[in-house]
Amino acid sequence: MFGAPGSPLPLPTGRGQRRHQGGGSSSGGRKGLCKGLGEGMLGLQWGDLGCRVRNVRCREGSEHWENRNGVSLSRWMLPMSEQQGPQLPRCDGVVKTKCNLSRPCPANFFAFKICSGAANVVGPTICFEDNMIMSPVKNNVGRGLNIALVNGSTGMVLKKECFDMYSGDAMPLVKFLKEILEDELVLVASYDDPGTKMNDEIRKLFSNLGSSYADQLGFRDSWVFLGARDIKNKSPFEQYLKNNPDTNKYEGWPELLELEGCVPQRVF
């Protein structure tokens, strides 16, 4: 269990959950694992498709999720109005927060931000405690599922891998997920196609980490998620958007997703 038993924790923020039904067309994008993204940029800038870094810093916290489906979030979340985060330095009137969160996290909480990829053009990013673990700039992201493991007590990055879910082998992902320990946090960001190689075993492994949407994940869907093995209920830190030709923002892909929040440090 993360945090003191029964202690409420902070709400995740982001674009909000939206679910669309529908399928996709034939897959595109680069083949191969963890290759660079420079050749696929197509002249697009981070301001066009990337994370809303400049806007996120000054948001007033109005985009918080509600307690969906009556699930108790008391083990994970604390209303933002009750958070007592540290006083942080300002520069030109802008509060400097870890991972550029909309507001600082309380003591004994880790700050994180996860952005999915945008179409097959801009890769995903995973930030934890102001450490950009995975990003296109670091050249360590790839098509499929990008996953980072973090020690839930120290915040130390343990592993970071990307798994090609369109033309790759699913078995390395199965092995990776089975080796996750109870004191580890798993952070996941999709890019291009996270679902073609998804099978029942992988879906069950993600569900056991607290995912509510692993069972639905399919071709070219967008997905961001933070979970752990010792979650009794489903993780509140998850967003999912179905690939639907009628509602896709990009031709052949849904909108990118952004998830930020404060996760409690594991207390022994």
Which residues, listed in sequence order, are joined to residue 226 by a DSSP beta bridge?
187
* Beta carbons within 8 Å of 244's beta carbon, 6+ residues apart: 20, 21, 22, 23, 254
Q: Give the max Cα distance, the chain.
A: 51
| Domain limits, the chain | 13-23+34-264
Q: Count CB atoms within 10 A of the CB of residue 4.
A: 12
pTM passes above 0.75: no
How far apart CA 112 and CA 161 sit, in angstroms, is 18
Distance CA 124, CA 161 (A): 13
Contact predicate 134/148, CB 8 Å: yes
Beta partners for 163?
145
Decide: residue 6, CB within 10 A, 0-12 exposed, 13-18 middle, 19+ buried: exposed
- pLDDT per residue rounded down to tens, the chain (268 residues): 444 333 333 444 444 333 333 333 333 333 333 333 333 322 223 233 333 333 232 222 323 333 333 322 333 333 334 444 454 444 455 668 999 999 999 999 999 999 999 888 889 999 999 999 999 999 999 999 999 999 999 999 999 999 999 999 999 999 999 999 999 999 999 999 999 999 999 999 999 999 999 999 999 999 999 999 878 889 999 999 998 888 888 888 888 899 999 999 985 4
